[in-house]
Chains A and B, each alone.
Chain A
């Protein structure tokens, strides 16, 4: 094989591969570009007030996204409160305590949770979980926890609590998987040092593992939050689809992704469409910020760990 032909081959292969990488960057650029250009009409009409108004009136062409931002944030927060303790526990169990034989089975089960499509979560939540909430859980919460002010009002079953609950199940696998990666990245010596100083297993986990992995665990949690922001189908089927801000978790709400899913194909008029696009832009910005922050935190712990250790 001559030198010339190998140069040609190298250059050709290299450019093909670089083109693929550039295509990826170009796609993200396209997403941003389309969102910005389609929402320009709405941005010029409403300005920053779009983020603070609570009116969503397609007939009068007056749109404000605050109820949706509220719905997205609150449902995701509820999901975090429910999911984080369970995910942390699962991750700790799988990495530190679980007998070696059960580990692959249990971790496969957690992964299968991640494989269930969003619409099937919605289906199950709609027909099984929400009625269960309405009949058993919400009366219980209303009777004993009404003093918090979060559990008042009529009990529909569908609403912020239902959306938060289904989101919690959906983000469990990702928080647990990243936490596992982070915990594995903590050097063995830390654990051994704690045990050598006389710590019990729980004390060792608390001092050597959790404390050192703090930043990474926070990153995993924030990543789960970002995933919850973008969830569409399951939330749409459970959140009640009412664009109002309410204090109670029993009340129906509306999230950014849900309003887009429900109203996009029926949007009449350029302003309506543009307002929905601007909602998508807000959602994109939220997930971007959250994901970037999470990545930074996780990288600070796992940096330097070879890929094999994380596999």
Chain B
């Protein structure tokens, strides 16, 4: 009886996933046309138009966020695995967990205070700073885990051959753990790709094309949100189709990388 309840719980949990994905596909597919992917939004109330600027903006913001997040994250992960098996490492580890738990909107506000207030305008750069900060703890923790899985014997063999420690870490250990690190980067990427709140006061959104780092930029999650809360039916339709594009991009990334390795999105997400 109790076992049946447990199995039922597991079954119930999968229902929302199919409901949500199904609804997004059902409502979003009708308007998913080539013009949706290539045009910018039309004035409110007019039919047609698309989210090309949001898709392009999102990709640009994420690319620049990776420039900030990936080096710092991997570097911190290397520190924790190779030099951090001590009290200092515990402090850094704890701090990474703290940063992981900070609500995304608070990180957005910090980026606002640091970048937007200083520059006196919203910008793509500010959005990238916010998302980059969010990537760091995830990447560093999973990098640490992956590096720790490399057997100590490999390090010792390299050192025994006369290779200096820095070269060992770089060319031997990291190379061995390479695919795990790439996977964690992609998964961190997929996680922040859907973030809206940190972009609200940094990249701010834009009705037109912009890929320049010092101007406000449209982003897919932001655009979905603004359309969802408008009263027009066309806007809602755009929101559903945008959601379909966003979810397709994220799910594709996750499923591909999950299949390649056994690492999941939950690692480092806790």
Contacts and interface: CB of A to CB of B under 8 A. Distances in A.
Interface of A: 1, 5-6, 9-10, 12-14, 16-21, 23-25, 27-28, 30-31, 34-35, 38, 85-90, 92-94, 97-98, 106-124, 126-128, 169, 172-174, 176-178, 201-202, 223, 226-227, 229-233, 237, 257, 260-261, 264-265, 277, 280, 283-284, 287-288, 290-292, 295, 307-308, 311
A265 B201 contact: yes
Contacts, number: 276
A131 to B, nearest CB: 12
A166 B247 CA distance: 18
26 contacts: A20-B74, A30-B110, A31-B102, A88-B9, A89-B9, A112-B17, A116-B250, A117-B250, A119-B225, A120-B20, A120-B24, A174-B269, A177-B264, A202-B1, A230-B104, A232-B103, A237-B229, A257-B197, A260-B105, A261-B197, A265-B201, A277-B109, A283-B103, A291-B101, A308-B149, A311-B145
Contacts of A307: 145, 148-149
A93 B4 CA distance: 10
Interface in B53-95: 71-76, 78-80, 82-84, 91-92, 94-95
Q: What 8 pairs across the A-B complex have the smallest Cβ distances?
A: A117-B194, A89-B9, A230-B103, A20-B75, A13-B166, A6-B164, A291-B101, A93-B10
A17 B74 CA distance: 9
Contacts of A106: 10, 14
A92 to B, nearest CB: 5
B254 A10 contact: no
Interface stretch (B32-40, B42-50, B206-214, B235-243): B235-243
A130 B92 CA distance: 42
Interface residues of B, number: 99
B196 interface: yes
B239 A18 contact: no
B109 A113 contact: no
